[in-house]
A and B are shown apart, each in its own frame.
Chain A
Amino acid sequence: MNDATASLDRPLTRNVRADRKPTDLAAYEANGGYQGLRSAIGKLSPADCLQILKDSNLRGRGGAGFPTGMKWSFVPMDDSPGHKYLICNADEMEPGTFKDRLLLECDPHQLIEGMILSAYTIQADVAYIFIRAEYHKATQLLREAVAACEEKGYLGNNILGSDYSLKMHVHSSAGRYICGEETALISSLEGKRANPRAKPPFPQVSGLWGRPTIVNNVETLCNVHHIIERGADWFQSLGLTEDAGTKMYGVSGRVKKPGCWELPMGTPVREIIEDYAGGMADGYALRGFLPGGGSTDFLTPEHLDLAMDYDTIGKAGSRMGTGTMIILDDKTCPVGFVKNLMEFFARESCGFCTPCRDGLPWSAQVLDDIERGHGLPEDMDTLARQVTFIGAMGNTHCALAPGAMEPLQSAMKYFREDFERHIEGKACPYCTGGQH
């Protein structure tokens, strides 16, 4: 699938085979694997690596797009005793998101090499891969890959003869979407209920067991060894717009060829949906799309020519989020769509704070009433109030509840007549014999 030239501008998927079989250590090394590690450990200082990362302008691929180098720069680099931790967030559970699974299942060593170099940069001595319980195959592959690396001297004491040592553990989680929120993830890794924590203190200073900790997404970490090996300029040159690198983009819903592709950062939305996903399935038209998972605002066909990057999608009133789009077609009920998401967020609330614990089930109930044809005109005002109160950052303890309001508020803006048709007609106009 990927020839030698393609491999340079599609670094993340260069080892992804057409049959999706995993790349093992021998194949990974044969394609240049662990050269980044060899060229850096003991040769570049952690400060050198951090500078390369900062210059590269890599932004976190977990959803928020926070600059990775800057995040790492808050880790204290004095040599006071005690552990420092690097955690890979492989909890992928955002509705509509299916990019990390591909990277984990097809090329586990790419993640591990990226993690070793990331851990080296912040001088962490212990690393965890926090992976959702349902990813059995990936968990198995990662455990085998870690063992193979220990045997090879890529992990463990005195890596490649240097004075740097790193222990890596694979932690299989036990469910709950909130574990993906980085402070909740840390609570869960400590063996507790996954309630998010107040910031500050930030995990970089006080995270896992009160020690400096960095949490990064799978895709973010997979970029690191490529950047250190080939440099910041190379990485910058991959992107089409201001944002650097490539991005794992995906499309799901009623398109001809749903899937996930590594493309230059800033590829236009239209190209992703029409060229890669093959356009809408026969008999369906595009009404809108969530650009990057279930907690992003709807955009509409008028936004098709926008570049998929953090700033452009942000300026259009949404977020690029995880970069995996969910398509709303003209035969799917927008109210039902948003209700499905709201029920998800209500179910997954950790229960810590009232606006989320009580507010989300209330929103879900109002949407259910409207969808079933029991809605009243004043329900629209109730929903608007909920959006205002629950959607405001700062009214809740973490970003789950504000995220839950994003599809709702944008659906009320773009598909308001659909809500009104439900209320006035006292039925779902999309329902044909129980089907939405």
Chain B
Amino acid sequence: MSELIPVLSEQELREIDAEITHVPYRAAVAIDALKIVQAHRGWVSDESLQAIARHLEMSAEELDGIATFYNLIFRRPVGDNVILLCNSVTCWIKGCDSLQQRISEQLGIGLGETTPDNRYTLLPVTCLGACDKAPVMMVGEELHEDVTEQSLPTLFGERGE
């Protein structure tokens, strides 16, 4: 393991410790801590993982087993905006496959990939609970409903051709 374990920032520690106050043991906040660090750094690097594990008094291996279980904990760098494209059944009926093709053409990335300028990462996601507005997708924290191939370019700002 690397000796270069960076300390977590004061802010990150404060937020993690606030979670620890209401659980019976430190490792119980593993998921909260991963999310806190990810909110500050965009993703969870090996170094961050080790620092969190130390702070929670658990092994990095166990924490990694938890981190990799959850699809919204990123163990690889992602772009500034993560696109979550719903590909569950109603969105499939309403054409999410062709939307995905259009997004891939427009941004030049497939599922799981990030644009070279680091602006976008494209990921599939489970039913977003907005099936009456299918097809839907999220860009960052923003939900976009009734998406059409025509409306796609506007979602990606000046990137749209």
Point out residues on A near B: beta carbons under 8 Å. Answer: 92-98, 100-101, 126, 132-136, 167, 169, 171-177, 188, 190-194, 209, 250-254, 258-260, 294, 324, 326, 329, 332, 336-337, 340-341, 344, 348, 350, 434-436
Kindly list chain A residues whose C-beta atoms are within 8 Å of the C-beta of B27: 191
Contact A175 B70 (CB under 8 A): yes
Supposing A133-B72, A191-B66 touch, asked if A98 and B89 sit within 8 A by C-beta, the answer is no
Which of B29, B88, B133 has the largest number of chain A CB atoms within 10 A?
A: B88
Contact A96 B98 (CB under 8 A): no
Counting contact residues on chain B (CB < 8 A from A), the size range is 35 or more
Contact B72 A252 (CB under 8 A): no
Contact A98 B30 (CB under 8 A): no
Contact A94 B35 (CB under 8 A): no
In the complex, B129 has a CB within 8 A of chain A: yes
Kindly list chain A residues whose C-beta atoms are within 8 Å of the C-beta of B71: 174-176
| Residue of B whose beta carbon sits closest to that of A294 | B89
Contact B138 A260 (CB under 8 A): no
Kindly list chain A residues whose C-beta atoms are within 8 Å of the C-beta of B90: 95-96, 252-253, 326
Q: Which 3 A-B pairs have the closest CB atoms?
A: A252-B131, A175-B72, A174-B70
Bound together, the chains give a CA A126 to CA B22 distance in angstroms of 10
Kindly list chain A residues whose C-beta atoms are within 8 Å of the C-beta of B89: 95-96, 294, 326, 337, 340-341, 344
Kindly list chain A residues whose C-beta atoms are within 8 Å of the C-beta of B29: 191
| Residue of A whose beta carbon sits closest to that of B128 | A134
Contact B132 A252 (CB under 8 A): yes
Kindly list chain B residues whose C-beta atoms are within 8 Å of the C-beta of A253: 90, 93-94
Contact A344 B126 (CB under 8 A): yes
Contact B134 A252 (CB under 8 A): yes
Contact A337 B73 (CB under 8 A): no
Kindly list chain B residues whose C-beta atoms are within 8 Å of the C-beta of A93: 126-127, 129
Kindly list chain B residues whose C-beta atoms are within 8 Å of the C-beta of A95: 88-90, 126-127, 131
Q: Which of A176, A250, A258 contacts B70 (CB 8 A)?
A: A176
Interchain pairs with CB closer than 8 A, number: 126
Chain B nearest Cβ from A204, distance in angstroms: 19
Contact B70 A191 (CB under 8 A): no
Bound together, the chains give a CA A192 to CA B29 distance in angstroms of 9
Bound together, the chains give a CA A337 to CA B127 distance in angstroms of 14
Chain A nearest Cβ from B94, distance in angstroms: 8
Supposing A134-B84, A191-B66, A348-B126 touch, asked if A167 and B22 sit within 8 A by C-beta, the answer is yes
Bound together, the chains give a CA A337 to CA B88 distance in angstroms of 10
Kindly list chain B residues whose C-beta atoms are within 8 Å of the C-beta of A251: 132
Kindly list chain A residues whose C-beta atoms are within 8 Å of the C-beta of B22: 126, 167, 169
Bound together, the chains give a CA A171 to CA B32 distance in angstroms of 8
Bound together, the chains give a CA A193 to CA B89 distance in angstroms of 26
Q: A134-B128, A294-B89 are in contact. List 19 more A-B contacts (CB 8 A).
A: A95-B127, A96-B127, A97-B129, A101-B130, A133-B72, A173-B31, A174-B71, A174-B72, A175-B73, A188-B31, A191-B29, A193-B65, A194-B70, A252-B90, A259-B132, A324-B131, A332-B93, A340-B89, A344-B88
Bound together, the chains give a CA A251 to CA B93 distance in angstroms of 13
Contact B131 A97 (CB under 8 A): yes
| Residue of B whose beta carbon sits closest to that of A171 | B32
Contact with A along B85-106 (1 / 0, CB 8 A): 0011110111101100000000
In the complex, 11 of the A-B residue pairs with CB atoms within 8 angstroms, ordered by the A residue number, are A98-B130, A175-B70, A190-B28, A193-B69, A252-B131, A324-B131, A326-B89, A326-B131, A336-B92, A340-B88, A435-B95
Kindly list chain B residues whose C-beta atoms are within 8 Å of the C-beta of A326: 89-90, 131
Kindly list chain B residues whose C-beta atoms are within 8 Å of the C-beta of A350: 69
Bound together, the chains give a CA A194 to CA B67 distance in angstroms of 11
| Residue of B whose beta carbon sits closest to that of A132 | B129
Q: Which of A101, A174, A194, A341 contacts B73 (CB 8 A)?
A: A174
Q: Which of A193, A209, A259, A340 contacts B66 (CB 8 A)?
A: A193
In the complex, B141 has a CB within 8 A of chain A: yes
Kindly list chain B residues whose C-beta atoms are within 8 Å of the C-beta of A94: 127
Contact B129 A98 (CB under 8 A): yes
In the complex, B157 has a CB within 8 A of chain A: no
Chain B nearest Cβ from A81, distance in angstroms: 14
Q: Which of B35, B70, B88 contacts A96 (CB 8 A)?
A: B88
Q: Which of B28, B88, B125 contacts A134 (CB 8 A)?
A: B125
Chain B nearest Cβ from A417, distance in angstroms: 20
Contact with A along B107-148 (1 / 0, CB 8 A): 000000000000000000111111111100010010000000
| Residue of B whose beta carbon sits closest to that of A210 | B24
Contact B129 A176 (CB under 8 A): no
Contact B98 A434 (CB under 8 A): yes
Kindly list chain B residues whose C-beta atoms are within 8 Å of the C-beta of A132: 129
Bound together, the chains give a CA A404 to CA B13 distance in angstroms of 41
| Residue of A whose beta carbon sits closest to that of B56 | A191
Supposing A134-B84, A191-B29 touch, asked if A260 and B69 sit within 8 A by C-beta, the answer is no
Contact B129 A191 (CB under 8 A): no
In the complex, B34 has a CB within 8 A of chain A: yes
Contact with A along B25-68 (1 / 0, CB 8 A): 00111111011000000000000000000000000000001100
